[in-house]
Amino acid sequence: MMCKKKLWIVLALCFALAIWKIYISVSPLSKSLDEWLLQDSLMKEEMCYHNKCIGLSSWDWFCDHFDASVNCLLTLENSDIPPEVLQWWLKLQRSKDGSQIQQMVQYLFDLLQSPTARAQDVVHCGTCAVVGNSGRLRGSKYGKKIDSHKFVMRMNTAQVTGFEEDVGARTTHHFMYPESAMNLHPNVHLVLVPFKPLDLKWLASAFSTGDIQQTYKRVKQFIKADKSKILIIHPGFLKYIQDKWTRHHGKYPSTGLITLIFAIHTCTQVSAFGFGADSNGNWHHYWEDNRFAGAFRKSGVHNGTFELQLIERLTIEGKLVFYK
């Protein structure tokens, strides 16, 4: 008698579970519930707390530079840029008008279907290859090694076609600013590195009206890229790199260093390719033959020497693997 009762209870429970499962699978709520659960687990467990500095003070070189609490990405929630960050940011490329940035970010995120919800996309754990554009990559045969990473981050006008053997074929994240922008394949994250408020305006324009065609030089009027995968670096993250990493060597950090530090913050393991001069001491890009192309080094905007020393030191500290 008891046994039969228990059996009935178990059967009833199974039935209820089956009904619930069916309900969940057809309910329009199910997707968002799944997404919510996924996001929750990404935030709690899978987020990369690989680099942490709890309890380590300034005597540790890495922890004296690294700040885990800094926001890498601009979102609706953190678009109220602190005054000291704003003041520094406006000076980078002599911008005059820093008002209405929040409205601009709001407009941008309406247009781009709110990438805020996807901010976690980049923060799952995994190995990352950060591929700089140095001529050093020519003939390196690093292509297969680069492609074997979960994430492959490239920057500016990086070319892939025709150079696969040396630089790989995959890209998951492409860091750029308006003046270095290029069209991307579907599924690649466009990561905007904004050096001025106009860069945010340009992004909105390049995906809509196309009314911005000129910054300090002519820029792409429209851009082809996956609208749902756009990420924007927070100006505060740039200031953090300038304060804590380059320590005011150069006017502001290069896109290469920004990408590397981003990777240090978001990946379990970082490999750096294509940084530094080639074996002849030239700083041209791997797709160019012009050995004078590294003239930016003399402009004083970035201090390439200091940035390279940082990369060497990060290698010694075991925070990245530097492929020369």
Ligand X SMILES: *[C@@H]1O[C@H](CO)[C@@H](O)[C@H](O)[C@H]1NC(C)=O
Which one of 142, 177, 240, 252 is the catalytic residue?
A: 252
- Indicate which single residue of 30, 148, 183, 305 sits in contact with ligand X (rule: CB under 6 A): 305
Q: How far is the CB of 306 from ligand X (least distance, A)?
A: 4
Query: Which residue's CB is nearer to ligand X, number 204 or number 258?
Result: 258
Query: What's the CA dihedral at 10, 12, 13, 18 to 10 degrees?
Result: 120
**DSSP letters for 90-128:** HHHTT----TTHHHHHHHHHHHTT-GGGGGGGGGB--EE
Q: Which of 249, 251, 268, 269 binds ligand X (CB under 6 A)?
A: 249
Kindly write out the interface string for residues 39-68 of this chain, putting x where it contacts ligand X by CB under 6 A and - elsewhere.
Answer: ------------------------------
For this structure, is 252 an active site residue? yes
Q: Is residue 306 at the binding interface for ligand X, with CB under 6 A as the rule?
A: yes
State yes or no: residue 303 binds ligand X (CB under 6 A).
yes
Q: Which stretch binds ligand X (CB under 6 A): 51-59, 63-71, 200-208, 300-308?
A: 300-308
The C-alpha angle with vertex 49 and arms to 200 and 78, in degrees rounded to 5, equals: 30
H/E stretch holding 154:
strand 151-155
Q: Does 300 bind ligand X (CB under 6 A)?
A: yes
CA-based radius of gyration for the chain: 23
Of 35-43, 119-127, 129-137, 305-313: span binding ligand X (CB under 6 A)? 305-313
CA distance 28 to 153: 35
Of 115, 151, 119, 101, nearest in space to 227 by CA: 115
Considering the rule CB under 6 A, would residue 322 count as an interface residue with ligand X? Answer: no
Alpha-carbon dihedral 104, 204, 232, 255, rounded to 10 degrees: -120
Residue ranges that bind ligand X, judged by CB under 6 A: 249, 300, 303, 305-306, 309
- Report the binding-site residues for substrate: 93, 133, 156, 216, 252, 256, 276, 285, 302
